Amino acid sequence: MTAIPVRRPPLAAAVATVRAWTRDARVRRAVLEALTLGLVAAFVLYVATRAREASSLNFDFMTERAGFGIGDQFLTQTDGGSTRWQAYVAGIMNTLRITVFGILLSVGMGLSIGVARLSSNWLAARLAFLFVETIRNTPLLVFVVFCYTAVVLRLPRIQESADVFGIAYFSNRAIALPWLRPETGAGTFALALVVGAVAAWGAWKALRRHEVTTGQPAYPWRAALALFAAVALVAFVATGTPLRLDIPEAGRFSYSGGMRLSPEFVGLLLALSLFNAAFVAEIARGAIESVPRGEREAAAALGMSSWQQLSLIVLPQALRAMLPPLATQCQNLAKMSSVAVVIAFPDLMTVGGTIINNSGEAIPIFILMMLTYFALNLGIAFLLVGPHWRFNWSRGRRA
Amino acid sequence: MTVAGLPLKVDRTPREALEDAWHWARQRLFSSPGNVVVSALLLAILGWAAFSFARWMFTDADWGVVRANRRLLLVGRFPLGEEWRIWPAVYSIIVLLGWTWGAWGRISRTVAATLVLMGALVLPTLAGWSGLRVVAPALALAVLAYFLAHRLAESPRIRGKARVGSVVGWFMALPLALILLQVRGGVEPALWGGLYLNFVVASGAIIGALPLGIGLALARTSSFRALRVSATVYVEVMRGLPLPVMLTLAWLALRAFLPSWGGLDEVALVYRVTIAFALFTAAFIAEAVRGGLNSIPRGQREAASALGLKWWQLTAYVTMPQAVRNSLPALAGEFIGLFMTTTLIAVVGLTDMLQAARATTEQPAFFGRQKEVLLFVGMLFWVTAFALSRLSARLERALAGKGTRRV
């Protein structure tokens, strides 16, 4: 047989074309992109199918009777007969309560400790350092369990509760503090306060502009505060004492009146805010140190007092550097408040877990919890960093 | 010699010493009326706190709760006679700590003093003198390893090897703990507990999270949009979720998503929780490594491309080694954080050291001893985290200035 050379021009051409494609950066890119997209889509599809198999993925069960009560509630009244949605909302309110108070306490403490760490006072600086180092090297949960079981639950029994001047009571069943109770007319009064605040802000702005343009002192802070106080006073009298000081009274088995806090809430709040304060302190210290030394020296050379240097020159600039990490830290606090489940404080996480247990619907609840925490995070970011964007644009340093 | 920035004469009479101290106090404590008030207030608080603590310590405190429950705290309900699975891991970790520290720099006097003091407080309470016999050789070996590594690191030629050895050692030692729990019949995961459970979950999570995190960092910096977007979504979702929610998910719902082949959906709770920790930590590791990747000058990539290196060569030989080196301190921080957050496994009902500690105070003999046992647990975590964080500061200093050179 004689070998006849086979001519396969079409195939060879096809091979050559494919070869050329495999070396064409655009084609490779497109193929790889498509492959990744396909993989991601396959994964999402897989998760979705498995979720569908495991659960009906509807939220009808949330309108059914909850079947469990919540001991510690804030602005909500739910019991076993309420729907699961209502119980869930009570959980959200508790998470919000712990987050808001936790942020207020920890930012307050953290800022003072951060400033103390930079203080010229040796003792203050050392103690602040010790506080930060102790807390940052200990797990949060150890603090939570310690504050709850070793501090709050070791308070005296309610029959022997410790009191402070007869207006606040501490016991291992509840802690009662004096509080302002809204009476009739409180809504009008609150509205008047908002109006007063807006007016004061406007006055501050106008006087400040006057001060800046003319160089004459116009005392914007004092004027604004005086205006606000005047509006508040007039409104308070006009609406006929809308707020009444509510002092708790100790009974044999419970307290009445005042603000009564559960041991779980107090333990968790104490632990979370102490823990978070250490991180806020480090953020504050970093921000203050980021302000160039020369700024302060220049202020001193202009004859500003130490307090003026701090409040007018250093802190405004430090605040700007501080807000983004502070927002992240506050988000951390909101997320970490979910450790409440360990000491059975009925927050979002605990209530969600209870609903899973008594309805058996795990996946819808997880979807709900994820969305709720995302919303909470977004809210915190918006509240803290939102003003920062504006702040940065209008007063950015042009150096 | 100086104390807090003020020069002090070394040989001085008592009178001079007193004058120096007074001078120092005047400057650092009582420099202005405001400072006098603050100092007096702080001294009063400090004095009161120290007094109440001392009073509690010497009259009320009873550390018997720790001594009696030390096994529960350290290994939970781990079966008797199976301790041989634990000791090799403990020994290698202790020795590695010494070696790593020696290879990366000198231990400072303050840190050494703190560690010795803490060790002296923790060990006798925990081990008693009989238990100390088992731990003492490990500590002696650690000190030996420290000096040996320190000696080796003095020569520039061997230093690199000693340091690489320490890193490799850690990556060998962490799986060791997991492997030893499986071989020769193994110990049922439900019986793992105490501090060892914290340690095992943390090491398992590190082993899983590191490759995943590096992959995510590469994906996030990739030029492929689909990769970049999906990695970004993953990282942001994980960072926005509370860890307890993740853990509960692993507890109650993960099974529904695991494939059924090979009995994978029947995997024990400890493993599922470890997977959750790994998935969660990977997002944070990805951010740390991404920071490292971003810190590499563009020119390096361009130079490597100009030399004809393929993408994987560029990554394996040029960018990744530098990125990992630059992000080592951040990574160390993540690992310390991970070790401490493993206490959150309480959420799914596993008994780690903290939960074991809570359980001890339910024994009638130790009712109301929460303070002692929780202080002890806190201190143990504190010592570990403190040692590791100082070590990472060391690393940071040793690595400073490396990999930032421009062409």
Cross-chain residue pair A141–B374, CB shorter than 8 Å: no
pLDDT at B138: 81
Residue range B337-361: mean pLDDT, rounded: 89
Gap between the Cα atoms of A270 and A254, Å rounded = 22
Cross-chain residue pair A154–B252, CB shorter than 8 Å: no
- Residue B11: pLDDT band by 50, 70, 90 thresholds? low
Q: Residue B5 pLDDT more than 70?
A: no
CB contact residues (below 8 A), chain A span 123-182, against chain B: 123-124, 127, 133-134, 136-143, 145-146, 149-150, 153-154
Q: What is A74-141 written as a DSSP string?
A: SS----TTSBHHHHHHHHHHHHHHHHHHHHHHHHHHHHHHHHHHT-S-HHHHHHHHHHHHHHHTS-HH
Cross-chain residue pair B39–A36, CB shorter than 8 Å: no
Contact list in A for residue B256 (CB cut-off 8 A) is 50-51, 53-55, 362-363
Residue range A112-125: mean pLDDT, rounded: 87
Q: Which of A15-24, A94-103, A315-324, B187-196 has the highest mean pLDDT?
A: A94-103
Cross-chain residue pair B354–A134, CB shorter than 8 Å: no
pLDDT at B283: 94
Q: Residue A102 pLDDT more than 90?
A: yes
The count of C-alpha atoms lying within 13 angstroms of the C-alpha of A21, restricted to the half-sphere facing its C-beta, is 10
Q: Name which of A142-146, B160-164, B400-404 the model is least confident about.
A: B400-404
pLDDT tens per residue, range A8-50: 677 888 888 888 888 888 888 888 889 989 999 999 999 899 8
Q: Which of A141-150, A211-220, A255-264 has the highest mean pLDDT?
A: A141-150
From A30's Cα to the closest Cα of chain B, the distance in A is: 9
Token readout for B89 is 């891991």
pLDDT at A103: 94
pLDDT at B333: 86
**Phi, psi for A162 (deg, rounded to 5):** -80, 140
From the list A121, A142, A362, the residue facing B38 with the nearest CB is A121
Cross-chain residue pair A54–B253, CB shorter than 8 Å: yes
pLDDT at A395: 42
Interface probe with A: pick from B2, B225, B251, B257, most Cβ of A within 10 Å: B257
Average pLDDT score over chain A? 85
pLDDT at B245: 92
Phi-psi group of B406: left, alpha or beta (phi > 0 → left; psi -120 to 50 → alpha; rest → beta): beta
Is the separation of the CB atoms in B107 and B150 below 8 Å? no
From A9's Cα to the closest Cα of chain B, the distance in A is: 33
Q: Is the ipTM of this complex over 0.85?
A: no
Cross-chain residue pair B224–A142, CB shorter than 8 Å: no
Token readout for A322 is 């501080």
Cross-chain residue pair A120–B241, CB shorter than 8 Å: no
Average pLDDT score over chain B? 83
Nearest-by-CA chain B residue for A341: B347
Rg (CA), chain A: 30
State the sign of the Cα–Cα–Cα–Cα dihedral A294, A295, A299, A302.
positive
* Eight-state DSSP code of residue A6: P
Gap between the Cα atoms of A270 and A154, Å rounded = 15
Interface probe with A: pick from B29, B56, B248, most Cβ of A within 10 Å: B248
Q: Residue B7 pLDDT more than 80?
A: no
pLDDT tens per residue, range B304-321: 989 999 888 999 899 888
Q: Which of A156-170, B123-137, B139-153, B177-191 has the highest mean pLDDT?
A: B139-153
pLDDT at B280: 94
Gap between the Cα atoms of A362 and B288, Å rounded = 33
Is the separation of the CB atoms in B208 and B278 below 8 Å? yes
CA B323 → CA A388, B193, B239, B292, B391, distances in Å? 31, 36, 21, 4, 19
Q: What is A215-248 written as a DSSP string?
A: -----HHHHHHHHHHHHHHHHHHHTT--EEEE--
Q: What is A292-344 written as a DSSP string?
A: -HHHHHHHHHTT--HHHIIIIIIHHHHHHHHHHHHHHHHHHHHHHGGGGGGGT
Cross-chain residue pair B38–A366, CB shorter than 8 Å: no
Contact list in B for residue A26 (CB cut-off 8 A) is none
Interface probe with B: pick from A28, A52, A56, A138, most Cβ of B within 10 Å: A138
Residue range A195-216: mean pLDDT, rounded: 89
Is the separation of the CB atoms in B262 and B280 below 8 Å? no
pLDDT at B218: 92
Measured at the CA of A363, the angle between CA A357 and CA A364, to 5 degrees, comes to 95
Nearest-by-CA chain B residue for A122: B28
From B240's Cα to the closest Cα of chain A, the distance in A is: 6
pLDDT at A399: 35
Name all contacts of B32-39 with Cβ < 8 Å and 24+ positions apart: B35/A120, B35/A121, B38/A119, B38/A121, B38/A123, B38/A124, B39/A121, B39/A123, B39/A124
Which contiguous run of DSSP H or E holds residue B25? helix B14-28
Q: Residue B405 pLDDT more than 50?
A: no
Cross-chain residue pair A149–B242, CB shorter than 8 Å: no
Gap between the Cα atoms of B281 and A37, Å rounded = 24
pLDDT at A145: 92
From B373's Cα to the closest Cα of chain A, the distance in A is: 10
Token readout for A95 is 């998470």
In angstroms, how far is CA A67 from the centroid of its own chain?
30
Is the separation of the CB atoms in B32 and A305 below 8 Å? no
From B186's Cα to the closest Cα of chain A, the distance in A is: 30
CA B154 → CA A131, B150, B160, B395, distances in Å? 36, 6, 10, 16
Gap between the Cα atoms of B280 and B209, Å rounded = 8
Contact list in A for residue B253 (CB cut-off 8 A) is 54, 362-363, 366
Cross-chain residue pair B245–A366, CB shorter than 8 Å: yes
Cross-chain residue pair B29–A36, CB shorter than 8 Å: no
From A118's Cα to the closest Cα of chain B, the distance in A is: 12
Q: Residue B404 pLDDT more than 50?
A: no
From the list A40, A122, A139, the residue facing B381 with the nearest CB is A139
pLDDT at A389: 53
pLDDT at B252: 86
- Residue B139: pLDDT band by 50, 70, 90 thresholds? confident
Query: 């002092």: which residue's tokens?
Result: A247
Q: Name which of A128-132, A136-140, A381-385, B303-307 the model is least confident about.
A: A381-385
From the list A123, A369, A373, the residue facing B42 with the nearest CB is A123
Q: Annotate A132-198 with three-state secondary structure.
A: HHHHHCCCHHHHHHHHHHHHHCCCCCHHHCEEECCCEEECCCCEEECEEEECCCHHHHHHHHHHHHH
From A371's Cα to the closest Cα of chain B, the distance in A is: 9
Cross-chain residue pair B226–A362, CB shorter than 8 Å: no
Residue range B209-224: mean pLDDT, rounded: 91
Q: Is A253 helix (H, G, I), strand (E, B) or coil?
A: coil
A51 interface with B at CB cutoff 8 Å: yes
Nearest-by-CA chain A residue for B46: A127
Which contiguous run of DSSP H or E holds residue B6? strand B6-7
Contact list in B for residue A37 (CB cut-off 8 A) is 226
Gap between the Cα atoms of B273 and B345, Å rounded = 7
pLDDT tens per residue, range A333-385: 999 999 999 998 999 999 999 999 888 888 899 999 999 999 999 898 888 87
Residue range B187-202: mean pLDDT, rounded: 85
- Residue A387: pLDDT band by 50, 70, 90 thresholds? low
pLDDT at A6: 60
Cross-chain residue pair A124–B38, CB shorter than 8 Å: yes
Gap between the Cα atoms of A175 and A194, Å rounded = 31
Among the residues of B316-403, which ranges form H helices?
Answer: 320-341, 353-360, 370-399
A375 interface with B at CB cutoff 8 Å: no
What predicted TM-score, i.e. pTM, was given to this entire model? 0.83
Query: 């240097």: which residue's tokens?
Result: A309
Q: Is B11 helix (H, G, I), strand (E, B) or coil?
A: coil
- Residue B125: pLDDT band by 50, 70, 90 thresholds? low
Contact list in B for residue A381 (CB cut-off 8 A) is none
| Cβ neighbours of A281 (radius 10 Å) | 26
pLDDT at A277: 95
- Residue A194: pLDDT band by 50, 70, 90 thresholds? very high
Q: Residue B148 pLDDT more than 80?
A: yes
B153-188: buried (b, 16+ CB within 10 Å) or exposed (e) per residue? Answer: beeeeebeebbebbbebbeebbeebbebbeeeeebe
Q: Is A70 helix (H, G, I), strand (E, B) or coil?
A: coil
pLDDT at A397: 41
| Longest distance between any two alpha carbons in chain B, whole Å | 82
Nearest-by-CA chain A residue for B348: A342
pLDDT at B155: 82
Nearest-by-CA chain A residue for B198: A139
Gap between the Cα atoms of A215 and A6, Å rounded = 97
pLDDT at B179: 83
Cross-chain residue pair B252–A356, CB shorter than 8 Å: yes
Residue range A311-332: mean pLDDT, rounded: 87
pLDDT at A393: 41
Q: Which of A60-74, B131-145, B270-284 has the highest mean pLDDT?
A: B270-284
**Residue contacts between A and B (CB atoms, under 8 Å):** 146
Cross-chain residue pair B29–A122, CB shorter than 8 Å: yes
Contact list in B for residue A356 (CB cut-off 8 A) is 248, 252
- Residue B1: pLDDT band by 50, 70, 90 thresholds? very low
Q: What residues contact residue B230 under an 8 Å CB cut-off, 6+ apart?
A: A36, A40, B219
Contact list in A for residue B242 (CB cut-off 8 A) is 335-336, 338, 349, 373
- Residue A5: pLDDT band by 50, 70, 90 thresholds? low
Gap between the Cα atoms of B216 and B229, Å rounded = 11
pLDDT at B201: 92
